[in-house]
A and B are shown apart, each in its own frame.
Chain A
Amino acid sequence: MDVAYETAVRQLPPKIRELLLLFPQDKQQVVREVSMRAGKPLTLTTGEGIRFASGNGAFSAFPPPASDILTAQEIGDCLRFLTEYSLHSFEESLCRGYLTVRGGHRAGISGTGVHKDQSISHVRDVSSISLRIARQIRGVSRGLVQSLYGTGETPSVLIVGAPASGKTTVLRDLVRSLANGEAGRYVRVSVIDERGELGAALHGTAQHDLGVTSDLFDGFYKAEGMQMALRAMAPDVIAVDELGGAADAQAVRSVQNGGAAILATAHAGSIEGAYQREGIGALLREGAFDRIVLLNGADSPGTVRAVQSIGIPSARKTVFA
């Protein structure tokens, strides 16, 4: 039994749960996402593409009979089960389009937005739920930790890669490794988790292992979170996923002026592509980062293609082991 798969699907209503638990382990391991849509059959996103549950423990490339269509009531029940009958506790994250469930899995939702004061106050009539199965891969950054931090320095590092190249997975494992002393000393890491993907906090508790000396800022916008972390937790490293435009870049500058190193990810298919991005490119040219790590693509997620030093590594932090 695939543990991550089982903990995810066991949080669904009995009828859907039992259907999904019929799959043997080899099938469970390739399922990345379970999508439930009102008026449509249940679909599975696997490594080989979209599949349907045929009801006998096998995948089907074609939709099942009409009798297996999910109803709006069943989608509502899914939402209530996933929130452990605590919908009120998830209102804010539902307005952002997702919720984190037990085990660190994420459920994206779509439905009818209700507006108040020009923003979404809540979502009603949820019509689709996509449950993404989180599989924390420990050790994926083992080589990187040693090469980047093993000499006692704490450089600022930017991890870039194409979509689905494993940036978030590598970042999470680097945080865990640093905060567990795997670089030869314990590093204080503040994790700014705007989208709830790094720590996957549920009722304040991180569902993913982020290490002993990490502090999680769940749901904070990146710029504000970095500032707060710097003021409040005196971190050695601030970890942030998916650096974007000018506001994020300015936040990075002020954090580094405050003495912390940055460990961040950004979308780019190549190192040259990273230099061309607004915000990120400016930071790279200014020497805000000491190292840039390029990951391989989606066909080999979580693997490193290249690590490049940018100029002379700044001796921002030297820790004597």
Chain B
Amino acid sequence: MKTGIAFLLLLTGAFCGCAAAGKYRERVLLLSSCDLLLQRISALLSLENLPTAQLFSRLKDMPEFSALPFVKKTADRLSASRDFPSVFHKSLQEGCGALTAEDLAVLDRLSDLVGSYDLSAQLAGIESIRALLALQSEDARSRAKRDGHLVRSLCVLGGIAAAVLAL
């Protein structure tokens, strides 16, 4: 009985450690998807010159952005309102998984950019946001490596300690 409980506590500790570390990894993946999103926006604007509502309607259907809920929300809201800055800002404010407030603030620069300037200015602005996002990605990777390992180790050790105490 005690062995079973100890084993359970050990597993719980390991699971919590992995979940906590997973959040850091998730942020890295989401930021990578966001960079891909910006590249795709640039490409679609350059090649097809799509109106903003159609642009997001196209992006919504791409499976690579299914993990970015604000893309679908923006597309759905733009079918009713064409006020892109308000719509995109609101969609971002509703959160996106492990992205931090700082990450979302960088993405929010798109709300004042897309559709508000001529094409070349928008493309230049998107590159500028990508550069900022790259800094966030770098921060996310280093945190995943440093803090992710630390959190996982602490949780596993906590599980071991709890198991020992239970025994």
Contact = CB atoms under 8 A, between A and B. Distances in A.
Contacts of A91: 118-119
Contacts of B45: 88
A80 interface: yes
A89 B49 CA distance: 6
Interface string A73-93: 000000011011111110100
Interface string B14-41: 0000000000000000000000000000
B119 A85 contact: no
A122 interface: yes
Interface in B38-53: 45, 49-53
A84 B118 contact: no
Contact of B118 (A81, A85, A87, A203): A87
Interface string B42-83: 000100011111100000000000000000000000000011
A83 B114 CA distance: 12
A83 B51 CA distance: 9
B108 to A, nearest CB: 15
Contacts of A122: 118
Contacts of A80: 115-116
A84 B114 CA distance: 11
A88 B49 contact: yes
B136 interface: no
B52 A84 contact: yes
Contacts of A86: 50-53, 115
Interface residues of A, number: 13
A205 to B, nearest CB: 12
Interface residues of B, number: 18
A203 B51 CA distance: 8
B85 to A, nearest CB: 7
A162 B122 CA distance: 44
Nearest to A203: B51
A89 B122 CA distance: 12
Given A80-B115, A83-B115, A88 B122 contact: yes
Nearest to A80: B116
Contacts of A89: 49-51
B78 to A, nearest CB: 9
A124 B116 CA distance: 12
A84 B84 CA distance: 8
Interface string A124-145: 1000000000000000000000
A32 B55 CA distance: 33
Nearest to B55: A86
Contacts of A87: 115-118
A204 to B, nearest CB: 11
Interface in A57-87: 80-81, 83-87
Nearest to B46: A88
Contact of B82 (A84, A88, A124, A203): A84
A88 B115 contact: yes
Contacts of B85: 85
Interface in A235-261: none
Nearest to A79: B116
B116 A85 contact: yes
Interface in B107-140: 114-119, 122
B128 to A, nearest CB: 17
A164 B82 CA distance: 33
Nearest to B88: A85
Given A84-B51, A84-B82, 16 more contacts: A80-B115, A81-B82, A81-B83, A83-B115, A84-B52, A84-B53, A85-B114, A85-B115, A86-B52, A87-B118, A88-B115, A88-B122, A89-B50, A91-B118, A203-B51, A203-B54
Interface of A: 80-81, 83-89, 91, 122, 124, 203
5 contacts: A85-B115, A86-B50, A87-B118, A91-B118, A203-B51
A-B complex: 10 closest residue pairs judged by Cβ atoms: A85-B115, A85-B84, A86-B51, A84-B82, A88-B119, A86-B52, A89-B51, A86-B115, A85-B52, A122-B118
